[in-house]
Amino acid sequence: MKLKTVKFVQSGGILGSIRGCELRTEHLAPDTARELEQLVEASGISAACQSLSDTGRDLQQYEITIEDKDSKRSAVFDDKTLPPAARPLVHYLKSQAKPWPP
């Protein structure tokens, strides 16, 4: 995979705040770009999907859009439905997120 862009939007929760980031590998240091690509690959997000819990109104919701040289896919999860393999990616993206929209 030749990762180009990862866009992340975190919303919901008790406060209902929105945070996000858009990371373009061309603007990242090579080591950081490689780390992000490894996190994306390990996340298992390989197709567009939406998986939200029917319960828990105050859950955080995560929308992740991944664009590589061949495709673009978006996945939406919440705290209950986030796959364990995707947790490290979401943790990293949350650390990069700022109030959204920028």
Domain residue ranges in the chain: 3-99
**Strand, helix or coil at 6?**
strand
Question: Position 79: which residue type?
Answer: D
Q: What is the pLDDT of residue 1?
A: 61
Tens of pLDDT along the chain (102 residues) come to: 689 999 999 998 777 789 999 999 999 999 999 999 999 999 998 888 888 888 767 889 999 999 998 889 999 999 999 999 999 999 999 999 999 776
| pTM of the predicted protein model | 0.90
Q: What is the pLDDT of residue 102?
A: 61
Q: What is the pLDDT of residue 65?
A: 96
| Chain centroid offset of residue 1 CA | 17
Rounded to whole angstroms, what are the CA distances from 58 to 34, 55, 71, 89, 100?
A: 34, 9, 32, 21, 19
